[in-house]
Amino acid sequence: MNAPLPPDNAEIARLIIANALDYAIITLDRIGNITSWSPGAERIFGYSADEIIGKPSSMLFVAADEAAGAHLLEMDVAREHGRAEDSRWHSRKDGHRFWGNGVMMVLTDGPHSGFLKILRDETKSKLADQQRVLLLHELNHRIKNTLATVQSIAENTLRASSVDPATRANLTNRLIALSEAHNLLVTENWAGADLGGVVAQAVAPHELPEAPRFAIDGPPVRLSPQQAVSLSLALHELATNAAKYGALSDAVGQVAITWNIWQDGEGRRYLNLLWKEQGGPPVSAPTHTGFGTRLITRTVGQESGGRAHVTYEPAGLRCVIELELSKDQEIPILDLSKAKRSPAGSQ
């Protein structure tokens, strides 16, 4: 009995296109008119092949994107780079929108030259992401309300106990720093935070546009949510101390905040961050460890698994913070070309 002959490439392609119902597989001619329409395309967009073949691909875009020439841009990018990928809202025949992720590639096979576009309906995933973001914002709103309640209770309790106003202000400012750290995490969907953003947020209240006080430099680093909160609180304490007693307490003092990442022989990645003050009043070691220093070492150490070391040198306070970074926080090496940060002031 003879074995059946295997299907040729054309038959395999036909079977794939006929059965890939979750994907719209479309071909266009050189000017963007639709030349073929798969069953999956009919299922996703709602147009039959008879209704759509020969029509311009702009029909597949919403009015604003069509007017902006999105379909033309897609072809231009594909011509230049060989492919073009994007995600956007599209319209079905019945007017309902769906979130589609598509890739367009150039076809160069003689009479069939033009473009191939493969698109998938990812509306469920998009709506799930939007719901997650909505919940994160709701969570952040509740956290901020809770922190505001804690702040109010603490302020009234301390005032009733005749606690020094400066002490009450310190507690309020620490709660505000904690709230701002949560805001930063929400903008990143609680996936972590960029160290540069954490530093910029912490020093912003003390920066003077007309006379920059901070020099900030370091490569891109992703922090975990807990590390972002811990560093925000630690930097808040350092900046507050500098404004009261250190380099920021006079007009000429400055602070350099620099960091680097390194990796050991087993692939573990670490962050070293240096806070260095200079140009302020002479510094001497305190006779006892203050609450701010204890807060820095506790939040960085116990809560983030790192280490913080504060030294009081005559030229200015120095603080070294060390953290271990996870693999999930690694920045692609190509992004390091953007790592140089323009100093806010000279050192």
- Interval 16-35: pLDDT, tens: 777 778 899 999 999 999 99
Cα–Cα nearest to 49, from 41, 37, 59: 37
Note the pTM of the prediction, 2 decimals: 0.53
Angle of helix 225-244 relative to helix 291-301, nearest 10 degrees?
Answer: 160
CA distances from 218 to 40, 55, 111, 222, 261 (A): 49, 53, 54, 12, 9
Q: How many angstroms separate the first and last alpha carbons of the chain?
A: 87
DSSP per position, 91-128: E-TTS-EEEEEEEEEEE-SGGG-EEEEEEEE-HHHHHH
Tokens of 143: 């956290």
Q: Which residue has the tokens 């576009």?
A: 117
Q: Look at residue 267 in the predicted model and tell me its pLDDT.
A: 81
pLDDT, greater one: 1 or 175: 175
Q: Which residue has the tokens 């920066």?
A: 207
- Interval 206-236: pLDDT, tens: 887 777 889 999 998 888 888 888 888 889 8
Lowest mean pLDDT among 189-193, 286-290, 308-312: 189-193
For residues 280, 281, 287, 293, the Cα torsion angle rounded to the nearest 10 degrees is: -20
d(CA 223, CA 198): 9
Give, as one character, the DSSP assignment of residue 56. Answer: B
For residues 186, 188, 192, 198, the Cα torsion angle rounded to the nearest 10 degrees is: -80
What is the Rg, in whole angstroms, of the alpha carbon atoms belonging to the chain? 29
Asked if the domains 9-121 and 125-338 are classified in one and the same CATH topology, the answer is no
Lowest mean pLDDT among 23-37, 157-171, 284-298: 157-171
CA distances from 287 to 17, 78, 283, 307, 312 (A): 78, 68, 12, 22, 11
Task: Give residue 48's identity as a one-letter amino acid code.
Answer: S
For residues 9, 14, 16, 21, the Cα torsion angle rounded to the nearest 10 degrees is: 170
- Interval 139-148: pLDDT, tens: 666 766 676 6
- Interval 254-280: pLDDT, tens: 999 999 998 888 888 899 999 999 988
Q: Look at residue 125 in the predicted model and tell me its pLDDT.
A: 86
Confidence of residue 345 (pLDDT cuts 50, 70, 90): very low
CATH of 125-338, one of 3.40.50.10090, 1.10.1040.10, 3.40.50.300, 3.30.565.10: 3.30.565.10
CATH of 9-121, one of 3.10.20.600, 3.30.70.2860, 3.30.450.20, 3.50.50.60: 3.30.450.20
All structural domains of the chain with their residue ranges: 9-121, 125-338
Angle of helix 165-187 relative to helix 195-203, nearest 10 degrees?
Answer: 150
- What is the percent of the chain where pLDDT is above 90? 34
Q: Look at residue 25 in the predicted model and tell me its pLDDT.
A: 94
Q: Look at residue 24 in the predicted model and tell me its pLDDT.
A: 93
Cα–Cα nearest to 273, from 226, 218, 321: 321
